[in-house]
Every structure is written in C-alpha cells, then in structure tokens.
Amino acid sequence: MGLFDFLKSDKKKAHDAAGKAAEQVEQQAGEGRRPPAGSAADAASATRATAERMAAAAPPRPVPATPTPTSAAHKAVPAPPRPTVMPKPVASSAAAPGAMHTPTPHSAAHKAVPAAPTREPGATAKQRTYTVKPGDTLPGIARDQLGNEARWRELYAMNRGAVGSNPDLVRPGTVLTLPG
C-alpha cells in the first residue's frame, strides 16, 4: 500500500464517520420538524449539520502541557533576562545650588555635550611620506615605517591610486602617504 493509498483510506474512513454522524443528527432532529426546502432555516440547519459532521470526523486535539514550577520542562526553559535599572542619583542637601554635575549617559546634560572635534589630516599634522626604493614591498615598508608588517593593507588602501590595482607591484620612485 503506497502513501497515497493510505491517505485515501484515511479520507474514506473520515467520510464514512461523517456520514454516520449526519444520520444520527437527522434521527435526533426528527422527520416532522424539518422546515420547507429552500428556506433560510434549512440553510442554517444544513450548516449546523455540516459543522457537527466535521467536528465528529476531526481527530481530537492534544492539549499542550503547561510546565509547572516543579516540572522538568519548566526548569529546562531559561528565565528571561530582567532589565537592569540604573540607580537614580540621590540629591544631596550638602551640594551647593551652583555645584557642578557630572553628566551620566542617561542625563540630558550628557546629550548636550558636543562631540570632541576631529583632527583634519592636512590641517594641523604634517603627513609623512615614503619614496619607494627598488626591492621594496608594501609589507616591508609597513614593517620598517609603521612598525607592523600586517598594516600593509592599510598602507595600500591609502595609496591605491598611486600603487594601482596590484599591491604586489610597487614601482620605485612612487611616493606613498604613510598612515598616522
């Protein structure tokens, strides 16, 4: 028996059970109480009968178990993290009315403080340069001039226009700008 045959047999069993439920409903309703065909009451009773057939044919739904504080399932579920509350500063009566206040990350004073000005590269600092010699490589220049061979990528990124698309080919005489 294949999968589809199995499903068909389940469908047929459900249809047979629905038919039996409909017969029982009709027997209970009685023959004399049937409204005339085509009326709204007939449509309502047909809808009710269909709903009852569907309910009778449907398998019962399993009730999900709710974990209790003493069950193993409850202990397996981690508790949600509790939000931390920042302690509010206590107003000191000893502080003078005009005393300085240290802004906290949550205070309005902290948000009103402007960011520190950024230093423009050419305005105040003199940029260092290096002229490539025969046999030089970017990792070698980074090691000698910057103190770390791994900074060759940074050196290449700053001088991509002068070096070109191949970082392995650095031409002698090329002037490179060194990062700070």
Given a cut of 80, whether residue 103 has pLDDT beyond it is: no
Total H helices, total E strands in the chain = 7, 2
| Centroid of chain to Cα 26 | 54
Given a cut of 60, whether residue 176 has pLDDT beyond it is: yes
Q: Looking at residue 41, what is its pLDDT?
A: 72
Q: Looking at residue 23, what is its pLDDT?
A: 82
Question: Quick one: CA dihedral 149, 154, 157, 160, positive or negative?
Answer: negative
Q: Looking at residue 95, what is its pLDDT?
A: 52
What are residue 158's phi and psi, to 5 degrees? -75, -25
Q: At what angle do helices 3-29 and 40-57 cross, to 10 degrees?
A: 130
- Judge contact between 126 and 141, C-beta under 8 A: no
Tokens, residue 6: 């199995």
Q: Which of these, 44, 72, 55, lies nearest to 21 by C-alpha position? A: 55
